[in-house]
Chains A and B, each alone.
Chain A
Amino acid sequence: MDVILTSEDKVIIEKLGSRLTQCEKVKTNLIPILQMIQEELKYLPPEVIKMVAKYLEIPGSEVYGVATFYNQFKFNPPGKNPIKVCLGTACHVRAGDIILENFERKLGISEGQTTEDREFSIERVACVGCCALAPVAIMGDTVHGHMAPSKVEGLILRVQVEHEKAERERQKIESDRQ
């Protein structure tokens, strides 16, 4: 599960490196530092773990151990279409796990990961507060109730079709311009 840094990522990491020097070099600063980095970068790639370890002069393993303990820290970049599958009690009873599995299979990634093109990411969440619609999945800001395997396919297809459409339009504008 190697994350490939984009050039934007690299720019942000560089900036973060200089911001780091303003933080006091104490171990108790570890979590605030990680939080600050995640706020900017949205996730913590290995490069960042190493950077923080070096700055605080502690082993990388220690940083990694702390970071992986907390749910708030992510190790994969968020997708443009973040998918959250609810596995709260009601959704669990209505087979939310099958929905999760469908997303995972369809996108070829597991929960917590992001597709290579950074288009989709999958996360599991607990009750999102609309149990009557169980099983529930959220893509971007839209809640999708009464999920079924066929709907999983439809949702992903829709994004892909929209994508292709936008791409075609872009190409058209470009060729018109010439």
Chain B
Amino acid sequence: MVQILVDNNIIEAENGANLLQTCLENGIYIPNLCYLNDSQEPFAACRLCFVEIDGHPVAACTQKVSEGLQVQTDTSAVRSLQKTAFRLLLSVHEIKCKECSANKRCDLQRIAKFLKVGLKPKGLEIRLKDPGLDSGHPYLIVDQNRCVLCGKCVQVCLQKHGHSYLTFAKRGFDTVISGYIEPDDIPLTFSGCTLCIDICPVMAISLKEGIKS
């Protein structure tokens, strides 16, 4: 066990433990979207989990805990990085909370409240994908304008099946989570596994109609 200092709180943790997870488990909230608990190789894609260590910004999910580590989670530099990353995410997100199945259980709403930013990113151009609903996958529908590209679905699928049946496709603003057609003689059928649906922080993935879980 080692001791670290987070915003003047002394926290005890296993040497080498993940900093983000340690903070969260000790009741110190750091915004995050893409970290999977106990992940050995954090994906570090959302850039929301910034903290300050020795005056430098560090993505907390990529930092290991060691004796005497001093971390600040609430400096103005950190908040401004987080707000920018978050506003950029919102600029490609369709805000329809009232009609959204994730309403009130959505990580974006939680983070917006925490960072005290509105859900409409002022001053940024909104870029939505057309069409937003992607039914290319044999049994899943992905709402591309809801998806925040955290990649958790891809990671859990990979962990569970050794292969991921969902993938990042394309690049830049065009990046989407996609499931591609399988060879005709090895069709991909629904096995009852809904890990990707359950892990999604914004409920962007759902089963196609007629497919029962």
Residues of A at the B interface (CB closer than 8 Å) are 46, 49-51, 53-54, 58-65, 68-69
Contacts and interface: CB of A to CB of B under 8 A. Distances in A.
Nearest to B171: A69
25 contacts: A46-B181, A49-B180, A50-B181, A50-B183, A54-B185, A59-B163, A59-B164, A59-B167, A60-B180, A60-B181, A60-B182, A61-B164, A61-B165, A61-B166, A61-B167, A61-B169, A61-B180, A62-B163, A62-B167, A63-B180, A64-B180, A65-B178, A68-B169, A69-B168, A69-B169
Given A59-B188, A61-B165, A62-B163, A68 B183 contact: no
Interface in B169-189: 169-171, 178-186, 188
A61 B179 contact: yes
Contacts of B165: 59, 61
Contacts of A65: 167-169, 178, 180
Contacts of A46: 181
User: Is the contact region of chain A dominated by helix, strand, or loop, or is it mixed?
Assistant: helix
Given A61-B167, A69-B170, 10 more contacts: A50-B184, A58-B163, A59-B167, A60-B182, A61-B165, A61-B166, A62-B164, A63-B180, A65-B168, A68-B169
A64 B188 CA distance: 15
Interface in B155-213: 163-171, 178-186, 188
A59 to B, nearest CB: 5
User: Is the contact region of chain B dominated by helix, strand, or loop, or is it mixed?
Assistant: loop
Contacts of B180: 49, 59-61, 63-65
A71 to B, nearest CB: 8
A64 B167 contact: yes
A122 to B, nearest CB: 16
Interface of B: 163-171, 178-186, 188
A75 to B, nearest CB: 10
B178 A61 contact: yes
Given A59-B188, A69-B170, A54 B183 contact: yes
Contacts of B186: 54
Contacts of A50: 181-184
B169 A64 contact: yes
B197 to A, nearest CB: 16
Contacts of A64: 167, 169, 178, 180
Nearest to A60: B180
Contacts of B167: 59, 61-62, 64-65
Nearest to B168: A65
Contacts of B163: 58-59, 62
Nearest to A66: B167
A64 B183 CA distance: 12
Contact of B171 (A53, A54, A58, A68): A68
